[in-house]
Amino acid sequence: MTLFEALVALVILGLSAVGYLDVFRSSAGAVRDAGEWGHVVTIAETAMEGATLGDALQAQRGALSDTDRAAGYQQRIDVVPWRSGIDQVVVTVTSPRGTTFTLRRLTRQHLATRTRLPLPGGGS
C-alpha cells in the first residue's frame, strides 16, 4: 500500500465519520423538536379544557406554569361569539422558538364566557 492509497483511505474514513455524526445530530434535533411540539400541544389542550368548561380566566392562568413562562412559552385564549348560544374558543400557544399551535373548538355559551372579561396576556 502506498502513501497515496493510505491518505485516500483516511479521507474516505473521515468523510464517512462526518456523515454518521450529521445523521446523529439530525435525529437528536428531531427528537428535541418532537418533545417541544408535544409540550405545546399539551399546554393548548389543557387551556382548551379549562375554557370549554366555562372558566376562561382560570384556563388562562392555569394552563401555563411559571416554568413554562420562564422558558418562553406564550399562550392566548380568545372566546368569540360564533352563533346564538355558541362560542368559538381559540387557544394559541407559541413555543420559545416561535412555532405556533392553534386549537379551535365550538362550545355552548356559558355565563362565565358571556362576561367577556379581558384575559391576561391579551386574550379577550
The reported pLDDT for the residue numbered 11 is 94
Low-confidence ranges of the chain (pLDDT < 70): 54-63, 110-124
- What is the structure's pLDDT at 123? 47
Amino acid 68: pLDDT: 85
CA 62 – CA 17 distance, rounded (Å):
47
pLDDT number for residue 61: 62
Q: Give the max Cα distance, the chain.
A: 86
Give the angle subtended at the CA of 116 by the CAs of 112 and 119, to the nearest 5°: 95
Look at residue 124 in the predicted model and tell me its pLDDT: 45
Residue 25: all three cell numbers together: 445530530
